[in-house]
Amino acid sequence: MSTDSNTRGPDSATGERILETAFVMFGRYGYDGVSIDQIAKACKLSKGALYWYYRNKEALFVECLKRLRKLLVAHIYGPMAATDDPREQMRLFFLGIESALNDSEHLDSLAGLLIGIGRTDKQLVKDFRARARVEAEEFIGHVLEQGRQRGQFQFNGPPRPLSRALFVIVEGAFAQARAETAEQTADALHQIAIAFFLAMQATPPADLLRRSGRA
């Protein structure tokens, strides 16, 4: 998953500070809950100075979504891609969600941006979200199909509906983390992980069993 920066100007540190501030604010209040003036004020910049780095609010928000994708890759999809064993990949899928839930520095922003707090009607933003979701569903679907072909998973029908349901679990975990502690959400996630492997007629990994209290 590549990223293209809209950051301009000679001071990359300032551009990064703007992006980090916007990432927190958009994650907490949503696209419509934050103005460029508020972001500039939080960064101790003038509105004009902020526009030197990002051409408008929409461009800055898209960069925040790209940062979201990078964090999801770091926690979940990157570790999954590092192995070609489908059962291990799905173990890492659930552990990756747990890892993201334990990322206290970014959890609020991850949750807010992923579940889409506020109302965002900008077509560019909607298209970006849709592409990111399709990429994740296709990747997970490929893992599930490979697992079926190797006899590790058993399920009927195409893998895409299952991969879509698993992506909903990702969104749901972050939504729940905003209402409960990350630890409480992780406990529920462990139960879902065990249920997934049992539904696939696969032996649940031992570490997931220990985390769920079923070992």
Q: CATH code at 119? A: 1.10.357.10
Contact 64, 23 (CB under 8 A): yes
Residue 131 lies in a domain: yes
Can you read off the two tokens belonging to residue 175? 């939504």
Residue 122 lies in a domain: yes
Residue 170 lies in a domain: yes
Residue 3 lies in a domain: no
How many domains would you assign to the chain? 1
Name the packing angle between helices 12-29 and 57-72 (round to 10°).
Answer: 80
pTM: 0.87
pLDDT tens digit at each of 215 positions of the chain: 333 444 444 478 999 999 999 999 999 999 999 999 999 999 999 999 999 999 999 999 999 999 999 999 999 999 999 999 999 999 999 999 999 999 989 998 998 888 876 777 778 778 888 888 899 999 999 999 999 999 999 999 999 999 999 999 998 898 888 888 888 898 899 999 999 999 999 999 998 888 777 66
* pLDDT for 5: 43
Domain assignment of residue 74, given as a range: 58-212
Residue 145 lies in a domain: yes
* pLDDT for 9: 47
Residue 163 lies in a domain: yes
Residue 7 lies in a domain: no
* pLDDT for 163: 96
Residue 199 lies in a domain: yes
